[in-house]
Chain A
Amino acid sequence: MSVANSHETDTPRPIDGRTDFPPVYRASLADRFRRFLSPDSVITDDETIRPYECDGLSMYCEMPQMVLLPETVEQVQQIMRICHAEEVPVVARGAGTGLSAGAMPHAGGIVLSLARFNRILSIDPQARSARLQPGVRNLAISEAAARHGLYYGPDPSSQIACTIGGNVAENSGGVHCLKYGLTVHNLLSVEVVTAEGERVTIGSDGYDSCGMDLLALMTGSEGLLGIVTEVQVKLLPKPEVAQVVMAGFDTVQAAGAAVAGIIGHGIIPGGLEMMDGFAIQAAEDFAHAGYPTDAAALLLCEVDGTEEEVHDHIHQAESLFRALGATSVRTSGSEEERALLWKGRKSAFPAVGRISPDYYCMDGTIPRSQLAHVLTEMQRLSDHYGLRVANVFHAGDGNLHPLILFDANVEGEFERTEAFGGDILNLCVAVGGSITGEHGVGMEKIRQMPNQFGNLEVSQFHAIKQAFDTLGILNPGKGVPTLRQCQEYRAIGPLRQPDVAQAGEAHHG
């Protein structure tokens, strides 16, 4: 991609891990791996390596020394033992759908792909759980569980492709996590191969384990603490009914108040999603779901449960939305209609992709009460940078996904996009939120970390990392900035022009 080169100087480079990699050494290392891996599991030629150079955030890319595709946990252990002894960086990779460059390779390291660990090991319908290899696709779990009337809760929009190992590493969420939780809430145990090649199980078939909660610590650790080689998840009974109410509003403020209204009313919807005017238009042109294109904001509120419960709550939601000024209210009357109403939301990314050469998906969280303020501010930034932004977000849990539209072929536009994105994340922190709700820090948000955390917290994170990975070979350079980087990023401040900084501050003050 044309932006990759111009961007390179701005990207923080990992500072630890081996960087000297003479060709002779690379060849001898590959030979060692070939002793226990099949020939097609050790990839060293550039052409075959190329598809691994980035994840879903393709602006960040790097070629690794080689890609390994082990098939057994013992092989993963052997790989780790060698890499540990040789101090070679290891970047785990699932499906590569991550959006924070978490699976971007290390120039002096190997990519450890879990793609061949794609078996569902067992489903226990009675205990409502499933044991999975890490490369199993998220959607495949629910598909396999369906014949028992069960499903797996967290449903990232990327669920056709993303893997459960990647979900654990990112603590992924989805449309339904307000009610059913994130990955961390739906795990029973994980098996991990440590940096030193030890194989350990964290958690059990029961719900709570003794002692400190290592399972929670592993979840969302972005491949920095260990390689996940098996995952046991909880399965949920499929709700009897689900219905969705769509409501259009004249202003974003009114829609925000309606979100608060529903929750204040004691209803926890299965999903509660919002789109702004621009996103509504794009999604409607793409999916023809019958969205009110004249609305400034749209809410999709899904209620699920027993027939009686859904009946009650749908009525309450409809009248609440009307009372709170909805300009249109429509409730799905059939499964087809429900699917159609969701189709627009679920295809929001490709829909936006169609009207712009490139787009950049951000992922910040805010307290819901700050919604209107943040959207107003975002519009101001959009005007300033001269870049359009479409907003879709998980309104129920305050997780924003602004999509910034840009053209990578226009000189300097990606840099402006990144600066705009950085401003949005800083804004999230300023109102009491977080720089990432579900996509992770990876390489992408390293710059914003010092905004959310002080040096003491960052140091504590490094100490945690050391406890698992004394040499720092697992996904080096990602997730947590070095203290030197923190100092540097705080000194230069966010990547933005001075006048915007002032405008932003004036407004916050």
Chain B
Amino acid sequence: MGDISQQLAEQVKQAAETGTALAITGGGSKPFLGRGLRGQPLSLAEHTGIVSYEPVELVMTARAGTRLADIDAVLAENNQRLAFEPPRFGDTDTIGGTLAANLSGPGRPWQGSVRDHVLGLRLINGRGEHLKFGGQVMKNVAGYDASRLQAGALGTLGVITEVSLKVLPLPAMEQTLVQPMAQQQAIDTMNQLAGQPKPLSAACWYDGHLYLRLSGAATAVEATAKRWVADSGGEMNVLEDGEAFWRDLRDQRLSFFSGSEPLWRFSVNPTAALEELGERTLIDWGGAQRWSRQDESLSVMAERAARAGGQVSLFCHGDRSGEVMHPQPSPLRTIQKRLKAAFDPNGIFNPGHLYSWL
């Protein structure tokens, strides 16, 4: 448990003076993301500890290097959780890294993403200034939302040192339903069910099966499950260890994710057919997130994503020397370059990690 922010700020100042690139790391659980890290390591692993936690306020503030496992444990004592279900790629995932990578689990369409739960943060910019944005209240529109801006920036704008998050009660009950189904029918079914006012909290298609999760008041979950099972004419069943399935999906432990073939992440219109991706596809987020394994170029994949109303990134494996993120149109590239300069005038934070040009 320690606050090493002063030391971190000092290191940043020195790097800024000498123009040294810094490679920001948290728990080191996601080295495969982005285009690789180059530079002198700046580790947040020792910058840990829950700074404050008010269960009744539904707010927790933790230093960026705090491990998700430690946060979970404290929340669980109060029957609460991080509702965006952050994935764990090891035992060392930190809250700062989760936010920088904008990673959220299967419940994302219903419970929101990590950025949706961020209330505020502290950040060291490229001048070594330790800044504070947002706060610990649910609503705050003073100043620009520099907190949520960090989601997905992969540390290119600054060193996140502290994060304040909205936390939520654990659902009273969860139940998982499973039914054998072809891909297109699964996409239709997911979207159709998501349009109903029922306690659906995750929907996935994997290996020829549709998986649905219900979360909420016990009576509501049970009544809905009963009804959907009946509607399916006996095709749908309750999955006994549903929790394990969603955890494995969240943490990419299903066999789909093993191996070293390129893993593509599509964020698209939930109703898109995206037949080009073929059978080696896993559908999550009720259709809005598609995982695909194939050897293809980014430009081909990006075209497919665009036709499906969305974007693609090469999540891991494959050629990471070129771009790995969806191509940015020129005005957006200009804005992002200027934003980068606004936070990090000497370009010392994770250069080239997100885009080759940033």
Residues of A within 8 A of B (CB): 124-128, 148-150, 170-171, 173, 177-178, 181-182, 184-185, 194, 196, 198-200, 202, 204-214, 216-217, 219-221, 225, 237-240, 260, 263-264, 266-268, 305-306, 308-309, 311-313, 365-369, 394, 396-399, 432-441, 445, 449, 452-454, 456-457, 460-461, 463-468, 479-480
Contacts and interface: CB of A to CB of B under 8 A. Distances in A.
A461 B132 CA distance: 12
B202 interface: no
Contacts of B223: 306, 308
Contacts of B116: 181, 184-185
6 contacts: A217-B144, A268-B169, A309-B219, A394-B139, A461-B144, A461-B146
B269 interface: yes
B214 to A, nearest CB: 10
B311 A308 contact: no
Contacts of A209: 152, 267, 311, 326
Nearest to B267: A206
B115 interface: yes
A213 B115 contact: yes
Interface of B: 54-59, 79, 102, 104, 108-109, 112-113, 115-116, 125, 129-133, 135-146, 148-154, 156-157, 168-170, 172, 191-192, 194-199, 216-220, 222-224, 266-272, 285, 288-289, 308-311, 313, 325-326, 328-329, 331-332, 335-336, 338-339, 341-343, 354-355
Contacts of A435: 142
Given A206-B311, A305-B197, A461 B143 contact: yes
Given A212-B153, A213-B152, A464 B137 contact: no
Contacts of A127: 191, 269-271
Nearest to B192: A126
A128 B149 contact: no
B336 A212 contact: yes
B143 A432 contact: no
Contacts of A206: 266-270, 288-289, 309-311
Contacts of A263: 56, 58
B217 A308 contact: yes
A306 B113 CA distance: 24
Most buried by B among A216, A219, A264, A266: A216
A479 B137 CA distance: 19
Contacts of B220: 305-306, 308-309, 312
B311 A221 contact: no
A200 B331 contact: yes
B278 to A, nearest CB: 19
Nearest to A306: B220
A306 B198 contact: yes
A437 B326 CA distance: 34
A315 to B, nearest CB: 11
A130 to B, nearest CB: 13
Most buried by B among A177, A445, A460, A466: A460
Contact of B56 (A128, A204, A260, A463): A260
A240 B342 CA distance: 48
A208 B152 contact: yes
Given A208-B152, A212-B149, A467-B338, A221 B144 contact: yes
A397 B119 CA distance: 12
Contacts of B272: 205
Contact of A240 (B130, B197, B216, B331): B197
A121 B339 CA distance: 31
A39 to B, nearest CB: 31
B332 A128 contact: no
Given A207-B108, A208-B113, A467-B335, A366 B137 contact: yes
A27 B144 CA distance: 36
B217 A207 contact: no
B148 A217 contact: yes
B136 A210 contact: no
A210 B152 contact: yes
A217 B146 contact: yes
A204 B267 contact: yes
Given A207-B108, A212-B336, A463-B343, A399 B139 contact: yes
A432 B144 contact: no
B149 A198 contact: no
